Structure 1
Amino acid sequence: MNSSRLKLPPLNALKAFHAAARHNSIRSAADELLVTPQAVSQQIKLLEDILDVQLFERRGRTIEPTEAAILLARFVDAGFEEFKEGVKRVTNQKYRDRITLNVSPYFATRYLMPRLERFRKYVSGSDLRLTTMVETPDFSRDDIDVAVQWGYGDWGDLDSTLLLKDPKLICCTPEIAAGTKTPQDLTSQTLLHPVLQNSLWADILQHLNVEAPETAGDIAFHDAATMRRATISGLGIGLISVIDAQQDIRVGDLVAPLGTELLNDLPEDKVPGFYLVLPKAHRRVSGVAKFCDWILSEDWREPA
């Protein structure tokens, strides 16, 4: 079925199902909704007929949800929570000014946190809420207004704008560097890479005309800080952001065994970056629009 043409069931039927699923009782659902048990039963039967799915098994005066009901209840519950949040935001100035932001942990620590005071001055009185999930959020489910994500700019229907490129240096400890003299030597080492967007090593090896080994002994990490610590600990060869790699090389914790300019000519579309990501419709919210205006006005290549 074409989801764009899917007709939603009546709200009253969903309300009756929502209450019955939470209470596992027709009578308790009726008490909550201030209607008769017969009215609740009729609405649930209507919903079952529309969906052509059995939602409850009747056992005397009790009901037991079917597998379909358990699945549906999760989404209906999330939907009613969204309704409440929407009503709260448009009727209460305190919630109307709230901006919930999800930021890549590395970008938050390295770039955003030192500049947040600038935003507070730019939009006085804003109520900014910050989370740091690595994965791209589900903007509806996770109640996120706007995000800064690490990747290559491919976020489907979401609106994305590049804030800052994040080029990498191939780094390792001096001990590992002793056995890494040519790009081909990379194939005999443990390669450390991010869980998300983990095509980076494949792109680099292809760029260096090195065939990736059939059985890789790679280790994947959820965030850049953990990968950096693993590289310094000698677990393998890591791809470290240039600003961090330069610092670690300067103090002697790491070296660039193949040189610091090896990846300078990596194609632009193979270099990850940090992107402002949000649903297009969210830009219509004044607080979100102001945040976008501010973050796009900043030169993120410059230190805070």
Structure 2
Amino acid sequence: MTTRLPPLNSLRVFSVVMKQGSYRAAAEVLLVSPQAVSQQIKLLEDMLQVELFHRKGRVIEPTEPAIVLSHYVRAGFDEFSNGVRRVTNASDRNRININVSPYFATRYLMERLEHFREREPTADLRLTTMVKLPEFDSDEVDVSIQWGFGEWKDLEVTLLVQDPKIICCAPELADKVETPEDLQNHTLLHPVVGRIHWQRVLSHLGVPDATAKGEIEFQDAATLRRATIARLGIGLISRIDALDDLRSGKLVAPLGRDALNDMPEGDVAGFYLVLPKAHKRIKAVAAFCDWITAENWVALNKAN
């Protein structure tokens, strides 16, 4: 008996929902309505006769069958991409589609990118800057440089450089932050992709169950930095930026600039090279990966 396979569109929608964690977020990625996403998931559940998500209001939780299925769906789309590349001689193309964290692009990559161009003069580089991890296939991205903690499953992940932080605030707020516990009385500022960052910091400082007065999320590090200077709250500022602002007097480090120096390595965010392993079969992409992992980004960090 032949098993009837679900439509590829339903499987793709399912894959995006699993990655994004909600119908609404998946709808934004797919440029459709949340209702359209829900309909595709319902179609898939009806065909498989399996419940894929537990619905609790607006929150969804994947069931065990959904978790199992997601691995096969991702592997299947990877194979589709590999097949297309093979029949179109993609392994010989010179174009490299790179997505870069905006902060890494401005603070690290731009002044070094010419080194790669000297090494691979025929490479055709196409750069985009998105904060969130792209959908490599649908966004046509070959390789990405992401800020985070290296926790991207089913992808090849290589740490390029850590991004240590300093707890900073405007001078007007400094007198109100004398101990780590005082941080709970202020609005804590963090990037959208770093919601767990403050939890790790507070736990390290001995305040594991802290509840902050409030939180504000920002799309990028530059806006978060400006918000900290504008007295909107307490910010975790990248060390190379914080030292500039501390010297100029725009910000202060109420708990000391070295308060987070001894954080466990796994709790320190960084910039990672992230890509599906199969993408390295493209010669130009493999050359870029070899170059960027060989560069000494730590030295550049210290130089700043």
Q: TM > 0.5 between the two?
A: yes
Q: Which residue identity is paired with 1:241?
A: S
Q: In the alignment, which of 109, 112, 127 is matched to residue 109 of structure 2?
A: 112
Describe the shift of the 1:120–1:179 C-alpha distance in structure 2 as closer, same or farther (beyond 3 A).
Answer: same
Give distance in 2, aligned partners of 1:6 and 1:230.
56
Mind listing any 5+ residue stretches in structure 1 that lack a counterpart?
12-47, 54-77
Give distance in 2, aligned partners of 1:212 and 1:92.
50
Give the match's secondary structure for 2:146: strand
Q: Say whether 1:290 aligns with 2:291.
A: no
Structure with the greater alpha carbon radius of gyration: 1
Deviation, structure 1 residue 286: 0.2
Give distance in 2, aligned partners of 1:288 and 1:168.
31
Alignment partner, residue 28 of structure 2 = none
Alignment partner, residue 55 of structure 2 = none
TM-score, scaled relative to structure 2: 0.70
Percent identity between matched residues is 55
| Structure 1 residues 258-273: aligned runs within 5 Å | 258-273=255-270
Describe the shift of the 1:165–1:8 C-alpha distance in structure 2 as closer, same or farther (beyond 3 A).
Answer: same
Alignment partner, residue 174 of structure 1 = 171
Give the match's secondary structure for 1:230: helix
| Structure 1 residues 137-176: aligned runs within 5 Å | 137-176=134-173
Give distance in 1, aligned partners of 2:225 and 2:212.
24
Q: Say whether 1:193 aligns with 2:190.
A: yes
Give the match's secondary structure for 1:101: strand
Give distance in 2, aligned partners of 1:247 and 1:10.
54
TM-score, scaled relative to structure 1: 0.70
Alignment partner, residue 271 of structure 2 = 274
Deviation, structure 1 residue 165: 0.4
Conservation of the 8 A alpha-carbon contact between 1:168 and 1:241: yes
| Structure 1 residues 220-239: aligned runs within 5 Å | 220-239=217-236
Mind listing any 5+ residue stretches in structure 2 that lack a counterpart?
9-42, 49-76
Q: Say whether 1:245 aligns with 2:242.
A: yes
Give the match's secondary structure for 1:290: helix
Give distance in 1, aligned partners of 2:137 and 2:131.
17
Give the match's secondary structure for 2:193: coil
| Structure 1 residues 86-97: aligned runs within 5 Å | 86=85, 89-90=88-89, 96-97=93-94
Paired positions, count: 235
Cα deviation, 1:82-140, whole Å, max 9, x if unaligned, reads 799748952897xx210000010100010001111111001111100001110011100
Deviation, structure 1 residue 7: 6.9
Conservation of the 8 A alpha-carbon contact between 1:164 and 1:273: yes
Give the match's secondary structure for 2:112: helix
Conservation of the 8 A alpha-carbon contact between 2:149 and 2:268: yes
Deviation, structure 1 residue 176: 0.6
Cα deviation, 1:155-195, whole Å, max 9, x if unaligned, reads 10000000000010000111011211111111101110111
Q: Which residue identity is paired with 1:297?
A: A
